[in-house]
Chains A and B, each alone.
Chain A
Amino acid sequence: MIMFLMLYFGKSFGFSNNLRTLCTMCGADKFAPFFQFNWKTQSWNLFFLIGAAIGGYIATNYLTLPDYVVGISEETIADLSALGFDRPEGYVPVSQFSLEALSSVKNWLILGVGGFMVGFGARYAGGCTSGHAISGISDLQPASLLAVVGFFIGGLLMTHILFPLIY
């Protein structure tokens, strides 16, 4: 539905392009030709990004009960507790994403390295979940299918092999 709206507005649906735009706005165009473009042509997508944050705010504050817990399967809860995670108590683990969690160096590393790979990988692969898995596959693009295969190779490697080493 969102993809239809964006196509109807004459744009293509892909979220991670915003990261490049934000880099350019911060002056990255002085360092690499990749960032030399008129970021104002992408401002529509930044409005989409601001909207996404507003949507998250509205959803959590006005559309969700305070005692709400994500209902993942018992198997996942068991696997996560083996890694040292408590039973879910909300939307994301507080041990990792709360303000207090930022006092841990290890958490900074997890969030920092994770974020870095998301930003680097999304641009290298030319798109993220919205651009490849949703928009690209809807257009039956073989490149997008390969990118999604890559997403899962990376995700499975992290979840099954690296997680037990990290946590």
Chain B
Amino acid sequence: MKNIKFLIAGTLFGIIMFKSEAASWYRIQEMFRFQSIHMFGIIGLAVGIGVPMVAIIKKFKTRDFSGAPIVFHPKAWSIPRYLIGGTIFGLGWALSGACPGPIVVNFGAGFVGYLVVLAFALLGTFTYGVLRDKLPH
């Protein structure tokens, strides 16, 4: 079954998110108050490894496990899209204390409130899809 590796990667992601406390509502509150280096350390570490990793992959044209080239998808530049969309996301991130990954991790951990967050996140995504043509991009 070819999808099993994604299931395992997801499980690892869930464990790392939980154990690093990046999925904790408390850590998000602390981050937006700049009262600890914890979350910035996690994101900084990921980016600190990610930047050279992507640069190396690009330089040596590394291929994935099946031999296909690894492609990066550059995002088209737009100010309103990223600034407004990002700000709305940030408001929700601080209010619910979780971004999409941790919503699912917390639900798996048994905190049922996140099922409500997830349901409304789906509704939000649906609303965006319907209104897409009317929004500045």
A154 touches B91 (CB 8 A): yes
Quote the shortest CB–CB distance from B27 to chain A (angstroms). 6
A150 touches B53 (CB 8 A): no
A3 touches B53 (CB 8 A): yes
- Write out, one digit per residue, whether chain B residues 79-100 have a CB within 8 A of any chain A CB (1) or not (0): 1011111111111111111111
Q: A70-B26, A143-B75 are in contact. List 7 more A-B contacts (CB 8 A).
A: A15-B99, A54-B14, A60-B109, A72-B38, A147-B86, A155-B90, A159-B32
Q: A3-B50, A119-B121 are in contact. Are A154 and B94 (CB under 8 A)?
A: yes
- Which residues B16-67 have CB closer than 8 A to chain A? 16-19, 21, 23-33, 35-36, 38, 43, 46-47, 49-51, 53-54, 57, 64-66
Interface size class of B (residues with CB under 8 A): 35 or more
Count of A-B contacts with CB under 8 A? 450
Quote the shortest CB–CB distance from A108 to chain B (angstroms). 7
A120 touches B125 (CB 8 A): yes
- A interface residues, how many (CB within 8 angstroms): 115
Quote the shortest CB–CB distance from A85 to chain B (angstroms). 9
- Looking at the complex, which one of B19, B36, B75, B92 makes contact with A144 (CB distance below 8 Å)? B75
A120 touches B127 (CB 8 A): yes
Task: Kindly list chain B residues whose C-beta atoms are within 8 Å of the C-beta of A4.
Answer: 53
Distance between Cα atoms of A97 and B102 in the complex (Å): 13
Q: A19-B122, A75-B35 are in contact. Are A121 and B74 (CB under 8 A)?
A: no
Task: Write the chain A residue with the least CB distance to B69.
Answer: A10
